[in-house]
Amino acid sequence: MDKMDKIVELINKINDFENIDEFIEAKQIKVSSIVTAPWVRFKCKYACKNYNTNLDCPPYTPTPEEMSKILECYDEAILVQCMDSKETTSRIVRDLEKIAIGMEFYKAMALGAGSCKRCKSCNLTNCINRDTTRPSMEACGIDVIQTAKNNNYEMVKYEDDERTLYYYGVVLLK
């Protein structure tokens, strides 16, 4: 089985996951469509109450410049879209990462949505949940809105005065 077939198989495995009512879609994307930008970290620092409160948020995560260099180590990714649930998004990409590693994507790494909420108070010297938590895309300086747009997704949908908010996670593959 070639790499592209394995990626399709990996995406199809999402259907076997439990409690994913908020899952909408996952698709293979080129890592080159993922955008990093300094403004994302700036916004985390000055507009997010979680800044400097857990190891999966800045300043403990890669800067946009570091993330750009990390992205150069990968060529494909799976972008996951969920509706109204950061937790489901993050759980799906973490689970996909584990499966991907077992499918010989040894560099697989997941980035979820939103900040970690596993502990009441984060131990800022040593994460006790490293096996079940990953930083979010935005915590690593990724412009999630532009990345979604680059892959024909939207962040918010308005229909009949109803607002639907979408969350994204990604699994980097090589």
**Interval 112-124: pLDDT, tens:** 999 988 888 999 9
Which has the closest alpha carbon to 27: 136, 170, 139, 173? 170
pLDDT at 155: 84
pLDDT at 163: 84
The residue range of the domain holding 161 is 3-173
As a whole number of angstroms, the distance between CA 103 and CA 36 comes to 28
Residue tagged 């697989």 (tokens): 108
pLDDT at 61: 96
pLDDT at 40: 97
As a whole number of angstroms, the distance between CA 35 and CA 47 comes to 20
What residues contact residue 171 under an 8 Å CB cut-off, 6+ apart? Answer: 10, 77, 78, 80, 93, 96, 97, 100, 108, 109, 110, 111
pLDDT at 48: 94
* Residue ranges for the chain with pLDDT beneath 70: none
* Cα four-point dihedral sign 37, 114, 137, 122: positive
Count of domains observed in the chain: 1
As a whole number of angstroms, the distance between CA 47 and CA 22 comes to 26
**Interval 29-62: pLDDT, tens:** 999 999 999 999 999 999 999 999 999 999 999 9
Tokens at 128, concatenated: 């006790």
pLDDT at 148: 96
Percent of the chain past pLDDT 70, that is, above it, reads 100
